Amino acid sequence: MSGPLGRDPGGEPDRPPLIVLCDVTKTYGAGAGEVHALRGVSLVVERGEYLAVMGASGSGKSTMMNILGALDLPTSGRYLLDGIDIRALDESQLADVRNRMIGFVFQGFNLIRRTSAVANVELPLVYAGVRRAERRRRAEAALAAVGLSDRLHHQPSELSGGQQQRVAIARALAPDPAIILADEPTGNLDSVATAEVMELFARLNDQGRTVITITHEPDVAASARRVVRLRDGSVVSDRRQSPVRSVPSPAGEGVDEAAGAVPG
| Cβ nearer to ligand ADP, comparing 109 with 121 | 109
- Which string of DSSP letters, residue by residue, matches the chain? ---TTS--TT--TTS--SEEEEEEEEEES-GGG-EEEEEEEEEEE-TT-EEEEE--TTSSHHHHHHHHTTSS--SEEEEEETTEEGGG--HHHHHHHHHHHEEEEETT--PPTTS-HHHHHHHHHHHTT--HHHHHHHHHHHHHHTT-GGGTT--GGGS-HHHHHHHHHHHHHTT--SEEEEESTTTT--HHHHHHHHHHHHHHHHTT-EEEEE-S-HHHHHTSSEEEEEETTEEEEEEESSPPPP---TTS----TT--PPP-
- Supply the minimum distance, in Å, between the C-beta of residue 62 and Mg ion: 3
- Supply the minimum distance, in Å, between the C-beta of residue 232 and Mg ion: 14
- Supply the minimum distance, in Å, between the C-beta of residue 61 and ligand ADP: 3
**What residue ranges bind ligand ADP (CB under 6 A)?**
28-29, 35, 37, 55, 57-63
| Cβ nearer to ligand ADP, comparing 107 with 165 | 107
Decide if residue 164 touches Mg ion (CB under 5 A).
no
| Cβ nearer to Mg ion, comparing 62 with 223 | 62
Q: Which does 108 bind (CB under 5 to 8 A by kind): ligand ADP, Mg ion, none?
A: none
Decide if residue 62 touches Mg ion (CB under 5 A).
yes
| Cβ nearer to Mg ion, comparing 163 with 194 | 194
| Cβ nearer to Mg ion, comparing 230 with 247 | 230
The rounded distance, in Å, linking the Cα atoms of 163 and 142 is 13
- Supply the minimum distance, in Å, between the C-beta of residue 199 and ligand ADP: 24
- Supply the minimum distance, in Å, between the C-beta of residue 62 and ligand ADP: 3
| Cβ nearer to ligand ADP, comparing 121 with 235 | 235
Q: Which does 81 bind (CB under 5 to 8 A by kind): Mg ion, ligand ADP, none?
A: none
Is 113:157 a contact under the CB 8 Å cutoff? yes
- Supply the minimum distance, in Å, between the C-beta of residue 94 and ligand ADP: 18
Interface residues toward Mg ion, by CB under 5 A? 61-62
